[in-house]
Copies of this chain bind each other. A is one copy, B any other.
Amino acid sequence: MEHELQNTIALLERTPAALDALLRGLPEIWTEGDEGEGTWSVRTVVAHLIHGEDEDWMPRARVILQSGEAQEFTPFDRDDYERYSRGKTMEQLLDDFAQARAKGLRELCALNPTEEDLKRRGRHPVFGAVTLSELLATWAAHDLTHLHQISRIMAHQYRETVGPWVRFLGVMQCAGHSAAA
């Protein structure tokens, strides 16, 4: 594997343990609160991460290696997370994410993509041609976008509690920014 992919894997393999250390046993104010009507809680974000392991990242990688641009990726409905979270405790969700991520990384290492493989293209339903390299890098960056979101959702719960410091904490000024893809 080329160097960049090792950087991607190093991050991907750490995210479940980082979320576990942050969230396991944490009071529900932090994990069940959201940022207002129609927004996600931390619990929802973890369910979405499991959903991505199941239907987005490695499934799309396999499509690229098997069919290239001939087969467009199945659109990923990010609002379809509920079947991953229904009836589960936060602790079960953290376990499910760790297992799903470990499975995905085992598959990736078994594929052992070459430099040539990483340049192969697939077809994204929104923005067309993308390479396997871009897909795998986005898998890791997607962890970071949700770590960014989790810290923002949690901080929102203390918007009043911090008093005058609210103006000086960057996370309290963050407006979200994500778009579905």
Q: Dominant SS at the A interface? A: helix
Q: Which residues of chain B are near A155, meaning CB under 8 Å?
A: 141, 144-145, 148
Instruction: From known contacts A14-B26, A137-B162, A181-B165, infer whether A174 and B151 are also in contact, taking CB-CB under 8 Å.
Output: no
Q: Is B148 touching A167 in the complex (CB atoms < 8 A)?
A: no
Say how many copies of this protein the assembly contains: 2
Q: What is the bound-complex CA distance between A133 and B162, given in angstroms?
A: 8
In the assembled complex, A108 has its CB within 8 A of some CB on chain B: no
Chain B residue nearest to A159 in the complex (CB): B141
Q: Which residues of chain B are near A177, meaning CB under 8 Å?
A: 170-174
Q: Is A168 touching B154 in the complex (CB atoms < 8 A)?
A: no
Q: Is A22 touching B27 in the complex (CB atoms < 8 A)?
A: no
